[in-house]
Amino acid sequence: MSKVQVEGKTYQMPPQDGFTVAHFITVADVERSARFYEKVFGGRILTTGNNEGAPGFIEIANTWLIVYFGGGPTPDKPTVTLSVPADPDTVSSFMNIRVADIHACYELWRSRGAEFLTEPKDKYGETRCYIRDPDGYIIEVGQSKPDLAYG
């Protein structure tokens, strides 16, 4: 079992009660993605899955990333097809990593092979930059200004 503590409460994977939120991305190569998230973010690979439908699971900080090949439709989503991003510049959702020290994260993650779109840039309320993962997903990396009570 895998578990994390968030604001004093413990969340487990799989959950023993209630629910635990993970993030799923469709990937071209489960092993490649698992290694990327392990190496760059210190993620812990729980499984690299198999070809019978079991996805890869990586524990990253307070959550889990679930990675698997595209396909479908399936009986539980009869109109939906999963694929890696068709156009990596047209985006609707992404993982958003909030950090305590963005310059330290930028240097460390870059040294581990992460490709950043730009260096950290100052904007309204925060400093921010983006990583491209091996399938072209963007990952936001952001540090809020000191007086912000969230984010």
Residue 49 binds to other proteins (criterion: CB under 8 A): yes
Q: Does 111 bind other proteins (CB under 8 A)?
A: no
Instruction: Give the amino acid at 69.
Output: F
* CA separation, residue 142 to residues 103, 111, 126, 129, 138 (Å): 10, 18, 7, 7, 13
Report the residue from 30, 40, 95, 114 that binds other proteins according to the rule CB under 8 A. 95
Q: Which residue type sits at 114?
A: A
Q: Kindly tell me the burial class for residue 143, based on how many C-beta atoms sit within 10 Å of its own C-beta (0-12, 13-18, 19 or more).
A: buried
Check binding of 124 to other proteins (CB under 8 A).
yes
Q: Does 18 bind other proteins (CB under 8 A)?
A: yes
62, 107, 112, 115: residue in contact with other proteins (rule CB under 8 A): 62
Select 61 or 107, whichever has its Cβ closest to other proteins: 61
